Amino acid sequence: MRPKKLSNTTQTILTFGLVVLAVLLLLLAEDNLNTYLVRIISLTGVFGIMAVSLTFVNGASGMLSLGHAGFVAVGAYTSSLLTMSLAQKQTSFLLTGVAFPLNTELLSNMPFLPATLLGGIVAAGVAFVVGWPSMRLAGDYLAITTLGFAEIIRIVLLNASRFTNGSLGLKGISPFTNVWWSWGWLLVTLLFFASYAKSSFGRALRAIRDDPVAAKTMGINVFRHQLVSFTAGGFFAGIAGSLYAHWLTSIDPKPTTLGMMLTFNTLIMIVIGGLGSLSGAVIGAGLFAVLSELLRVVESDTVLFGFRIAGISGMRMLVFSALFILVMIFRQQGIMGRKELTWNALWQKIPTSGKRGNRNA
Amino acid sequence: MHDAVLELQDLSIHFGGLKAVEALDLQVKEHEILGIIGPNGAGKTTVFNLVSGMYRPTRGKVLFEGKAIHHFPAHVITHHGIARTFQNIRLFQTLSVLENVQVGMHHRLTTGHGTWFWRAVSKIGYFSAENKQRQDSLQILEKTGLRQWQSERASSLPYGIQRKLEIARALATGPRVLLLDEPAAGLNPSESKELMELVRRIRQQFDVTVVLIEHDMKFVMNLCERVMVMDYGQKISEGTPEMVQNDPKVIEAYLGEEWNDVEVS
């Protein structure tokens, strides 16, 4: 009989091996695939960060938040304004001019890493402020409140023209995001949330999700624990926002760019992957990124019986919605359910030899 | 000076016109097992909700070791050393037995929340704390006879074991006073007897004072050293099981004619 569980050392080695393998694969991909595919691979990483942070808040902590895109937008704007050069800002803010702290050399031309970190920190700050009143609510009420706050954030971005250039948005953001940044940050995100979930604090969050009243009588400060989890989710949403902005290279406060649409796309990823499962979120994000590229077919012009039918943009979302409904009917728990793809789980699945797997130790 | 570990003074809570608990005075002595009995709707569970901080009293005080605690939120009261169980079992259903107990220990990490949070996430200087939490939890499972169930999900446990786990989880918070709300409800006679032994044993092993609400008269009269009887939110009698049993007010208000049918040893 082989042992039921793998030792911690084995698991660490396997995880390390997987990371090395991923690095090699990314290297290979960057050298051999065309720019378009490489861009899709980096987008997958960005979606992965959004999905993992949202699934932790929604699934593992049981707070149905629909405000994720708001924090993504905050991160996107903050970091983009920091990496843009002063001249660039002055030319794009034609109508209003740049407001004070942003028109200094100090807050311009910043390297990508500190700009992304600051984007995350500002988003976490906003999440904290939004979370403070919202964490007193639960369930549907929390969902509606966070959705409302995300919309408020978007409206502020639209109207604070001297800071955000209003509806014109920001253009000419340097395309810093590549596979290394996005997958590197995804690794950091996964390590953070996996470690959080496995700790006593993650356990406390799951206890709160199961029964907040009982959790309170166990001496757990429910409000504080949920606020910490929400803020952590906001931080990584901000990071994802920064990466997304430097991938898109131009951002604006339209609902389809950094608004509700993004929240719902992220929700689709995590529900398909399995709400609350970090590895499921990555799988869901990967599926979403790949599918939305493959489904471009349905939006292009088609010739049917000699008639040319013009493509309808947005058609993909219909297909996604249908897919989403099918998942809801036939597999409510998504691909992974609440389980994680761990080495132990794989070890037990595979009877004799040849084990390959996903991240997450 | 306080030989009463828990003291209720003029404790009252009104819900609109309903006086759920009215002018209740009670002293719980250190290390005793006190039973609270009374007909349905007498306000027994409301007393527990007041003491454990789920409700704020309309009037009156709850003193724990001489200190007023009735204005604290529930989790702070647990930090002070009062733990409770629930009449309708409220385990963390998706967590394992061991994890349920570990959650009970979690609050000890949260003094200085921030630093422990970073340690927990970065895993720097955390493993020893996590390990200790695990060992202590296993010890509690050992002492309550739940060790063999440790990796089962709470929702898949048999009913009697769920009741026990509620007690084990409450003990994990490190209480000085343990409030048990109908611990024997739904148990068969042999399970109920076993539970009686368990309550006696944990009082010794964990050095706790036990206050319990129970409808099973045999259970209460055998186990408790003192009994308080409530009706319509008020205390109508208090004393040793024998005294209470012979109190005409109790017989009239609560036990009535049925008293003769109930076998009391």
Q: What is the pLDDT of residues A126-138, one digit of tens each?
A: 999 999 999 988 8
Q: Assess B45–A contact: CB distance below 8 Å, yes or no.
A: no
Residue B8 backbone zone (phi > 0: left; psi -120 to 50: alpha; other: beta): beta
Q: Do A217 and B78 touch (CB under 8 A)?
A: yes
pLDDT at B129: 84
Residue A359: pLDDT band (50, 70, 90) is very low
Q: What are the beta bridge partners of residue B9?
A: B61
Which pLDDT belongs to residue A248? 94
The count of CB pairs under 8 A between chains A and B is: 105
Q: Which of B240, B199, B248, B239 shows the shortest CA–CA distance to B219?
A: B199
Is the complex ipTM higher than 0.85?
yes
Query: Which positions ≥6 away from B52 have C-beta within 8 Å?
Result: A217, B74, B77, B78, B82, B84, B179
CB contact under 8 A, B106 and A200: yes
- A131 near A222, Cβ under 8 Å? no
Chain B contact present for A199, CB below 8 A: yes
* pTM for this predicted structure: 0.89
- Which of A103-117, A202-216, A320-334, B44-58 has the lowest average pLDDT? A320-334
**Which residue type occupies A239?**
I
The pLDDT assigned to A355 comes to 46
CB B54 to CB A217 under 8 A?
yes
Lowest mean pLDDT among A101-105, A175-179, B25-29, B59-63: A101-105
Give the domain ranges of chain A: 9-294+331-349
A43 pLDDT tier (thresholds 50, 70, 90): very high
Helix, strand, coil fractions of chain A, as percent rounded to 5: 70, 0, 25
Distance CA B139, CA B145 (A): 10
**Nearest residue on chain B to A60, alpha-carbon basis:** B94
**Closest partner CB to B75 (pick from A195, A210, A219):** A219
User: Is the pLDDT higher at B257 or at B61?
Assistant: B61
**Does A286 have pLDDT greater than 50?**
yes
Of the candidates A161, A85, A153, the one whose C-alpha atom is nearest the C-alpha of residue A122 is A153
| Alpha-carbon gap, residue A122 to A164, rounded angstroms | 15
Which of B86, B103, B113, B133 has the most A C-beta neighbours within 10 Å, making it the best mutation to test the interface with A? B103
Q: How far is A191 from chain B (nearest CA, A)?
A: 9
Closest-CA distance, B49 to chain A, in angstroms, reads: 10
Closest-CA distance of chain B to residue A194, Å: 9
Nearest residue on chain B to A221, alpha-carbon basis: B75
Give yes or no for residue A214 having a pLDDT over 70.
Answer: yes
Comparing C-alpha atoms, which of B65, B59, B5 is closest to residue B31?
B5
Query: Is any Cβ of chain B less than 8 angstroms from the Cβ of A217?
Result: yes
Outline where A84-138 has alpha helix (H).
86-92, 112-134
Lowest model confidence (mean pLDDT) among A105-109, A207-211, B100-104, B142-146: A105-109
pLDDT at site A352 = 55
On whether the CB atoms of residues A164 and A179 are closer than 8 A, the answer is: no
- Give the Cα separation of A289 and A48 in Å (integer): 9
What is the average pLDDT value for chain B, to the nearest integer? 89
Within 10 angstroms of residue A358's Cβ, the number of other Cβ atoms is: 17
CATH class of segment(s) A9-294+331-349 = mainly alpha
Q: What is the pLDDT of residues A146-195, one digit of tens each?
A: 999 999 999 999 999 889 988 888 999 999 999 999 999 999 999 999 99
Please tell me the distance in Å from B70's CA to the nearest CA on chain A: 14
The amino acid at A16: F
| pLDDT number for residue B263 | 54
B106/A201 touch (CB, cutoff 8 Å), yes or no: yes
